[in-house]
Amino acid sequence: MRQTGQGQELAAGSRIAAQQPEERGGHRRGPGGLDAAQRHAGVFGLDDDADAFRLQAGLEPVGDLLGEPLLQLPLLRVLGPEVSRVFAELHTGHGVDLRFGVQVAEITGNGGRANGVLLTDGSRIGADAVVVGIGITPNVRLADAAGLQVDNGIVVDAHLRTSDPYIYAAGDVANAFHPLLGKHIRVEHWANAVNQPQDAAKAMLGQDVAYDRVPYFFTDQYDLGMEYTGYVEPGGYDEVVFRGRRDTREFIAFWLAEGRVLAGMNVNVWDVTDPIRDLVTSRRPVDATRLADSDVPLTDLLDRPASAV
């Protein structure tokens, strides 16, 4: 695929028309929304769950997943090497060929239809269809034009108030100061879009509220379901404690720093989100041995912190 002023040109000469990023709410979506003719050409824009379901219906669950340069495991930035290996094994076990440290040089085609991907290392992957995951960029153009502070989104305080005290921001676009974490974070998840506006409205009405919900997300991949509660910057932890069995993918992973639980992820283990959140918000050291022991209720760790053991 070659970038031109009018779009992307396939190797055989057919062209995918260029599109401006589509704006939705507080983010700008990349040019993934291809029309029906372009979808039939074998290039798919994966924009939302409807696209995913349509694509799933027409493909076999085997393929290649191209990763970002310098990353050697999926979800490495979020989970670290200890836990991201679980997801690498999950995908390879389902026939996915993971390629890291390499980028797409060209989408090849024949007769107006994509038939493969040429990589920067010179290798080529044949394909009946190509899925392009673009991601989003916070849409701060209006905020920037209004003179608001922007940095990885619209910068707001714990009350979701921008640098202009009469303007508030919420959702994916808000880079909000989190009282528990003591830093600004921007979370791209529907939970923020659901919960932040309520606190923003209360703050607008003069109520003394701060958005201090613990970050949360979940994902279902094949037969693995997981929920992640908390927040850890890359490399911002001392150790990872596993509770349960990694070999059967039924466990809880905890990220600790100085004995305190920063985040927890339950994998195929359910109804533990509340105690995990309580461990995160307590900010108290816990005993790692008891944390790893599935026979010790998580609630007991709050009653007997590490200093009391």
Per-residue pLDDT of the chain (309 residues; tens, 9 = 90+): 344 444 444 444 444 343 444 445 555 544 444 444 344 355 545 555 455 555 555 555 444 555 544 357 888 888 999 999 999 999 999 999 888 888 889 999 998 899 999 999 999 999 998 888 777 899 999 999 999 999 999 999 999 999 999 999 999 999 999 999 999 999 988 888 899 999 999 999 999 999 999 999 999 999 999 999 999 988 899 999 999 999 999 999 999 999 999 999 999 999 999 999 999 999 999 999 999 999 999 999 987 656 544
Q: Is residue 199 part of a domain?
A: yes
Please say which residue of 77, 111, 136 terminates a domain: 136
CATH code for the domain of 193: 3.50.50.60
108: containing domain: 2-67+102-136
For residue 25, which of 134, 136, 139, 133 has the smallest C-alpha distance?
139
Q: Is the domain of 132 the same as that of 245?
A: no
Give pLDDT, residue 31: 42
Q: Residues 104, 136: contact at Cβ < 8 Å?
A: no
Q: What is the pLDDT at residue 99?
A: 87
Q: Could you tell me if 165 and 283 lie in one domain? A: no
Which pLDDT score is estimated for 3?
A: 40
Please indicate, yes or no, whether the overall pTM of this predicted structure exceeds 0.85.
Answer: no
pLDDT of residue 132: 82
**Do residues 23 and 112 both lie within one domain?**
yes
Clarify whether residues 130 and 148 are in a common domain.
Answer: no
Residue 80 lies in a domain: no
Residue 20: count of CB within 10 angstroms of its CB = 7
Quote the CA–CA distance of 149 and 77 in Å, as a whole number: 26
Q: What is the CATH number of the domain that holds 290?
A: 3.30.390.30
Instruction: Report the pLDDT value the prediction gives residue 302, as an integer from 0 to 100.
Output: 84
Is residue 196 assigned to a domain? yes
Q: Identify whether 210 is part of a domain.
A: no
Regarding whether 119 and 44 lie in a shared domain, the answer is yes
* Structural domain ending residue among the three candidates 204, 231, 246: 204
| Residue 9 and residue 112 in one domain | yes
Q: Sign of the CA dihedral 136, 52, 32, 28?
A: negative
254 and 147: one domain?
no
- DSSP three-state, residue 165: coil
- Asked if residue 95 is part of any domain, the answer here is no
Say how far apart CA 108 and CA 97 lie, in whole Å: 19
Is 168 in the same domain as 191?
A: yes
Round to whole Å and give the CA distance between 170 and 238.
32
Res 51: pLDDT: 54
The domain tally of the chain equals: 3
- Residue 49 and residue 119 in one domain: yes
Whether 43 and 128 share a structural domain: yes
Q: Assess whether 229 and 287 both reside in one domain.
A: yes
Single out the residue in 170, 204, 238 at which a domain terminates.
204
Q: Is residue 97 part of a domain?
A: no
Exposed, middle or buried, 123 (CB in 10 Å: 0-12/13-18/19+)? exposed
85 in a structural domain: no
304 inside domain: yes
Rounded to whole angstroms, the Cα distance separating 19 from 39 reads 14
Q: Are residues 229 and 177 in the same domain?
A: no
Residue 35 has what pLDDT?
A: 42
What phi and psi values does residue 181 have, to the nearest 5 degrees? -85, -20
